[in-house]
Amino acid sequence: MIKVGIVGGTGYTGAELLRLLALHPEVELVAITSRAEAGKRVTEIFPNLRGMVDLVFTPPEESILRRCDVIFFATPNGTAMGMVPGLLEAGVRVIDLAADFRLKDAAEWEQWYGMPHACPELLSEAVYGLPETNREAIREARLVACPGCYPTAVQLGFLPLLEAGVVKPGSLIADAKSGVSGAGRKASVGTLLAECSESMKAYAVSGHRHLPEIRQGLQAATGTEVGLVFVPHLTPMIRGIHATLYATLTRETADLQALFEQRFAAEPFVDVLPFGSHPETRSVKGANVCRIALHRPQGGGTVVVLSVIDNLVKGAAGQAVQNMNLMFGLRESAGLEAIALLP
């Protein structure tokens, strides 16, 4: 059994990790940490886990975490990088769900996240944890940077087009909507029911922190500079990402449906729908799946890709478990076969 610890277990992604790992056939949950809730039983905070998780929150002490085979960091940006070097030295593998190791350039990271990086020497080693592009590197990694939710939906939607060279890489547009859980479990006026219900708004239009991550991933896939306009929106739902992606075709005779079906044919968690479909966020709620559909409005030179995921599963905890399965030589879908919830 793989001994697993979670640092930062009281947020939404920490709770989702617990939900998934509690039923994983190859996992033993050893530690769950929280400074604020230390001493409390997990089920006092998350009653849905009664009878499934018998752990008490502990402080994030390295002596406890070193007993694990792998540690998931479900912490705010800037937390993991202070602890990761010591854990790696102790032979513990790490999967970070925050942004500490996603960008390869330390100066760019500091520009977007407003703090110096504590261990820039590890940025080149960290493997970006999008299995659909980095599966073999993930298998050998000791440090995995789990992608953000927006970057997962956007990259999976654009990758086949860019890899095949059938669109202009300099004029991509990503219009993406997220549920409120993407803002985390902290108290905030902007995410109060009375503030965000029955309303929708764009935010960070001038530049969102996920922009350099998306651009870095797409450029790695194409080997060329990518021009991307990325506009995120907050929507009045709890879970879900809906990304509407626009690209200009360079080969209007390309069979786009066949391109996507072939690219993702062997991918267990990408579902390419029939051409012209309209995937819904509710169709992936609670599941580690990205559903994608293609459109060519009026048969013109623009391709529209619709990409939906659950931001807490394929966009966070589920993808992290998928990475763990790869790192430990397990069946990639182990513990992740749950069907989406409807209604």
* Torsion angles phi and psi, residue 262, rounded to 5: -70, -40
Pick from 117, 57, 108: nearest CA to 82? 117
Per annotation, catalytic residue among 68, 119, 149, 290: 149
In 173-224, alpha helices (H): 193-196, 210-222
Tokens 């529209």 — which residue? 304
CA distances from 218 to 157, 203, 251, 296, 322 (A): 11, 22, 19, 22, 21
- Give yes or no for a contact between 207 and 263, defined as CB atoms under 8 angstroms apart: no
Measured distance CA(236)–CA(121) in Å, rounded: 40
Tokens at 172, concatenated:
């991509």
Map tokens 């854990």 to a residue: 87
**Residue 149 is a catalytic residue:** yes
Tokens describing residue 199: 């309303």
Burial class of residue 85 in the structure, from the number of CB atoms within 10 Å of its CB (0-12 exposed, 13-18 middle, 19+ buried)? middle
Catalytic residue numbers read 149
